Amino acid sequence: MLPQRTVVAAVQASYVLLDRDACVDKAVALIGQAAREGARIVVLPEAFIPGTPIWIDTRPIWDGDARWYSLLVQQAVVVPGPVTAALGAAARDADAYVVIGVHEREAHGSTLYNTTLYFGPDGALLAKHRKLVPTGSERTVWGMGDGSTLPVVDTPFGRLSGLTCWENYMPLARFWLYAQGVDIWAAPTLATGDAWVATMQHVAREGRCFVVGVNPCLRAEQIPTNLTGRNDIWPGFQSAAGAWVEVGNSVIVGPDGKILAGPLREQEAILTAEVDLDQVRAARRQFDAAGHYHRPDIFRLSVDTAARPAIAPWHPQHPQHPV
């Protein structure tokens, strides 16, 4: 009989902004640490490699950010490539499934994607998901994903999938994954506050699944001292020592909507909780969004899972400009 229970980990950690190799090294160490704490499913934050482009919310759009964007493209992750090889090796060493957010680009491209990668305990890259709709100022940095990267990964502990940050507010995207039988929902995010925790609880209750919401956290002084334009990237930098750029908001929720761990804020730490597939099955006896509580005779969802040409970041004169 397949195992029904395991431990999941939500790894809340700081990144090394715009330093891909340092972020990979830190991710590898954190994956190992989570495994030593018993986790067989390890989820790391959104855009962890090489970190959140924080300038998009501190600077006027298109004003002096070209140097950072150029560096971001340089430090982005080509999939597959050396970074995925290193992360896959870490997953294999940890004997764990690993979910982690990266900035992705094509081998010969400069459009970036907010991508979540899934690795198996054998070290294989199992799947990737490109965020469908970047939020607000994110559209000046990331292109749009398409329906070809909405994976669900089979594990011995249940089916693993999820959405990134505000994608979790997209009802049809959620329903599509519910219809694929997701049991453990990974939600790497940058969203903060109690309202986001409530969203994670809603997804858990609606999908009758375990939800692992994971944030990065970063203090101002952790921005690398050798970063070009460091003093411009965060307002009032010189007086911001100790200030939190990203406070974190990680949480793990059960299929009944009850919080199992967290929310964790203003510290780097690993949250863990046990997940039990039997609890998912039992919860769906009362409500199964894509099963007995769905009315396919009334409602139908069509999903285009074909890959589409790359979509460039938003531009005020070309809001939907295909490359």
Residues 6+ apart with CB under 8 A from 303: 147, 150, 176
Three-state DSSP string of 229-272:
CHHHHCCCHHHCCCCEEECCCEEEECCCCCEEEEEECCCCEEEE
Identify whether 307 is part of a domain. no
Rounded to 10°, the helix 82-94/20-36 angle is 10
Identify whether 301 is part of a domain. no
Confidence (pLDDT) at 252: 98
- Does residue 316 surpass a pLDDT of 50? no
Taking the C-alpha atoms of residue 243 and residue 55, their distance in angstroms, rounded to an integer, is: 16
Three-state DSSP string of 175-224:
HHHHHCCCCEEEEECCCCCHHHHHHHHHHHHHHCCEEEEECCCEEHHHCC
Confidence (pLDDT) at 1: 54
Confidence (pLDDT) at 63: 82
Domain count along the chain: 1
Domain hosting 224: range is 5-286
- Does residue 198 surpass a pLDDT of 60? yes
Identify whether 147 is part of a domain. yes
Q: What is the pTM for the complete model shown?
A: 0.92
Identify whether 212 is part of a domain. yes
Identify whether 159 is part of a domain. yes
Taking only the tens place, the pLDDT of each residue in 109-140 is 899 999 999 999 999 999 999 999 999 999 99
- Does residue 250 surpass a pLDDT of 80? yes
Identify whether 302 is part of a domain. no
Both tokens of residue 108?
A: 């010969």
Report, as residue numbers or ranges, the catalytic residues.
46, 131, 165
Identify whether 303 is part of a domain. no
Confidence (pLDDT) at 318: 40
The CATH number of residue 90's host domain is: 3.60.110.10
The SS3 assignment for 322 reads: strand
Confidence (pLDDT) at 235: 76
What would the mean pLDDT of 82-102 be, rounded to a whole number? 98
Identify whether 176 is part of a domain. yes
Confidence (pLDDT) at 54: 93
Taking only the tens place, the pLDDT of each residue in 147-183 is 999 999 999 999 999 999 999 999 999 999 999 999 9
Taking the C-alpha atoms of residue 275 and residue 209, their distance in angstroms, rounded to an integer, is: 9
